[in-house]
Amino acid sequence: MAQIQQLSQVAYDRLKDEYAQLTTAGRIDIAKKIETARELGDLSENGDYHAAKEEQGKMEGRIAHLSSILENVEIVKDVSGGDTVQAGSTISICYAGDDKAEKYLIGSIEERLEDVEVISPTSPLGEALMGAKSGDTLTYQAPGGTLEVEVISID
């Protein structure tokens, strides 16, 4: 069974629009590119044809990925202003021994923003952060050993 993806309404709508575009106009455009490349002759040495087929493969992979997400989605409400870390929260944390705070979004990679990295709520750090409050210091088991992190703020 596929894992449930938690998305904001904005991210869900964006992915739904991307899926609709890829499965309609996207497929038509790639079919035209392949047809045009076929008309150029010998397919074994036809770079345009191979490039179009590769593009088609990548697009179909993205369509399958989006389909899986959209079939197994849970829309999360806007959590801004909350006092605990949950999916959809933007947080600032500081690792033990480090003076600089780092800003992250807790959620799906599909929620990514330009200036904020994403932490999956199912990752070791994400699991440790879920339910934490500003000022909490917690430890979690990372692949390289145990790490300690302090929640500076929840935006």
Q: Is residue 82 part of a domain?
A: no
Domain CATH code at residue 127: 3.10.50.30
Query: Are 62 and 102 within one domain?
Result: no
Please tell me the predicted confidence (pLDDT) of residue 103. Answer: 93
Query: Are 116 and 64 within one domain?
Result: no
Calpha distance 131→88 (Å, rounded): 12
C-alpha torsion angle, residues 116, 121, 124, 125 (rounded to 10): 40
Q: Is residue 35 part of a domain?
A: yes
Please tell me the predicted confidence (pLDDT) of residue 79. Answer: 64
Calpha distance 133→12 (Å, rounded): 27
Query: Are 99 and 139 within one domain?
Result: yes
Calpha distance 128→121 (Å, rounded): 9
Q: Is residue 80 part of a domain?
A: no
Q: Is residue 102 part of a domain?
A: yes
Structural element, H or E, at residue 150: strand 145-154
- Cα-to-chain-centroid distance, residue 52: 26
Q: Is residue 84 part of a domain?
A: no
Domain CATH code at residue 38: 1.10.287.180
Domain that holds residue 125: 90-154
Structural domain count of the chain: 2
Structure token digits, residue 153:
């703020």
- The residues, any chain, with a CB within 8 Å of residue 97's CB and separated by 6 or more, are none
The low-confidence residues of the chain, meaning pLDDT below 50, are none
| Of 75, 104, 135, the domain-final residue | 75
Please tell me the predicted confidence (pLDDT) of residue 42. Answer: 80
Query: Are 95 and 64 within one domain?
Result: no
